[in-house]
Structure 1
Amino acid sequence: MEKKALKIAVIGGGSSYTPEIVEGFINKYNEMPVRELWLVDIEEGRHKLEIVGELAKRMVEKAGLPIDVKLTLNRREAIAGADFVTTQMRVGLLDARRRDEHIPISYGVIGQETTGPGGMLKALRTVPVILDICKDIEELAPNAWMLNFTNPAGIVTEAVLKHSKVRTVGLCNSPINFQKFLARQYGVTEQETLPEFVGINHLHWVTAAYVNGEDKLQEMINGGKDYSATNVTALDWDADFLRSLGAIPTYYLRYFYMTNTMLADMKTSQEKDGTRADVVSRVEAELFELYKDVNLNKKPKQLEKRGGAYYSEAAVNLMHSLYTDRRDIQTLNVRNGGILPFLPEDASIEVNCVVTAQGPIPIPPQRVPEQIKGLMHAVKTYESLTIEAAVSGDRGIALQAMVHHPLVPDVSVAKPMLDEMLQANQAYLPAFFEKK
Structure 2
Amino acid sequence: MKGPKVVLIGAGSAFFGRQTAWSMATKEALSNGTLALVDYDAEKLKWIAGIAKKAAAATRANLKIEASADRKKVLKNADFVVLAFANKGVELRGLDADISTKNGMIMCSADTVGPGGIMRTLREVPHQNEILKDVEKLCPDAWVINWVNPTAAMGIAMMRHFPKIKSMAICDGPHNPRFDNTLIIDAGLASKPEEITDGLRSKVKIRSGGINHFNWLFEMSYEGRDLIPVIREQLRKSSQAEHIAASEEGKITLTNRIAYQLAEAVGFIPKCIWHTQEYLPYFQGHGVNKKDALTLRKWDIAIRKKWMQECWTDMRSIASGKKSIGTFLKETTPDHSSDIIESMWSGKLKKFYINTANNGAVPNMQDDAYVEIPCVVDMNGVRPLPFGPIPRPVYGFMQRVLDEHELAVEAAVTFDRKTLLQAFLASMVTVSIPDARACMEQMLAAEKEFLPKEWFK
Q: TM-score, normalised by structure 2?
A: 0.83
Q: Higher mean Cα deviation, 102-111 or 339-348?
A: 339-348
Kindly report which structure 2 residues correspond to 1:153-192, keeping only aligned pairs within 5 A, or say none. 153-164=151-162, 165-176=164-175, 178-185=179-186, 186-187=189-190, 188-189=195-196, 191=198, 192=201
Kindly report which structure 2 residues correspond to 1:175-254, keeping only aligned pairs within 5 A, or say none. 175-176=174-175, 178-185=179-186, 186-187=189-190, 188-189=195-196, 191=198, 192=201, 195-210=206-221, 216-224=227-235, 228=240, 230-231=243-244, 233-234=251-252, 235=255, 236-237=257-258, 239=260, 242-243=263-264, 245-250=266-271, 251=273, 252-254=275-277
Letter in 2 for 1:388: E
What CA distance in whole angstroms lies between the structure 2 residues aligned with 1:365 and 1:287? Answer: 37
CA contact (8 A) 2:3 2:29 kept: no
What CA distance in whole angstroms lies between the structure 2 residues aligned with 1:213 and 1:64? Answer: 47
Give 1:420 deviation, angstroms.
Answer: 1.1
RMSD: 2.7
Asked if 1:31 is matched to 2:29, the reply is yes
Change (3 A) 1:263 1:73: farther
What CA distance in whole angstroms lies between the structure 1 residues aligned with 2:59 and 2:151? Answer: 32
Alignment deviations for residues 177-224 of structure 1 (CA, whole Å, 9 cap, x no partner): 532422433324275266322311111111223557865234322554
Give 1:98 deviation, angstroms.
Answer: 2.0
Letter in 2 for 1:220: I
Change (3 A) 1:40 1:194: farther
Gaps spanning 5+ residues in structure 2: where? 246-250, 286-292
CA contact (8 A) 1:101 1:277 kept: no
What CA distance in whole angstroms lies between the structure 1 residues aligned with 2:369 and 2:51? Answer: 39
Change (3 A) 1:414 1:194: same
Letter in 2 for 1:83: D
Change (3 A) 1:60 1:4: closer
Change (3 A) 1:82 1:198: same
What's the secondary structure of 2:140's corresponding residue? coil
Q: TM-score, normalised by structure 1?
A: 0.87
Asked if 1:266 is matched to 2:267, the reply is no
Match of 1:270 in 2: none
What CA distance in whole angstroms lies between the structure 2 residues aligned with 1:237 and 1:264? Answer: 9
Kindly report which structure 2 residues correspond to 1:243-392, keeping only aligned pairs within 5 A, or say none. 243=264, 245-250=266-271, 251=273, 252-255=275-278, 256=280, 258-260=282-284, 264-267=295-298, 275-293=299-317, 294-295=320-321, 296-298=323-325, 313-392=335-414
Give 1:290 deviation, angstroms.
Answer: 2.6
Identity of aligned residues (%): 24
CA contact (8 A) 2:113 2:404 kept: no
Match of 1:131 in 2: 129
Give 1:394 deviation, angstroms.
Answer: 0.6
Equivalent pairs, count: 416
Change (3 A) 1:244 1:258: closer
Letter in 2 for 1:290: D
What CA distance in whole angstroms lies between the structure 2 residues aligned with 1:354 and 1:189? Answer: 21
Match of 1:271 in 2: none
What CA distance in whole angstroms lies between the structure 2 residues aligned with 1:205 and 1:96? Answer: 28
What's the secondary structure of 2:284's corresponding residue? helix
Match of 1:78 in 2: 74
Q: Higher mean Cα deviation, 233-242 or 92-101?
A: 233-242
What's the secondary structure of 1:361's corresponding residue? strand
CA contact (8 A) 1:8 1:83 kept: yes
CA contact (8 A) 2:259 2:270 kept: no
Q: Higher mean Cα deviation, 175-184 or 413-422?
A: 175-184
Q: Higher mean Cα deviation, 365-374 or 183-192?
A: 183-192
Asked if 1:402 is matched to 2:433, the reply is no
What CA distance in whole angstroms lies between the structure 1 residues aligned with 2:239 and 2:403? Answer: 27
Letter in 2 for 1:196: R
What CA distance in whole angstroms lies between the structure 2 residues aligned with 1:404 and 1:39? Answer: 38
Gaps spanning 5+ residues in structure 1: where? 268-274
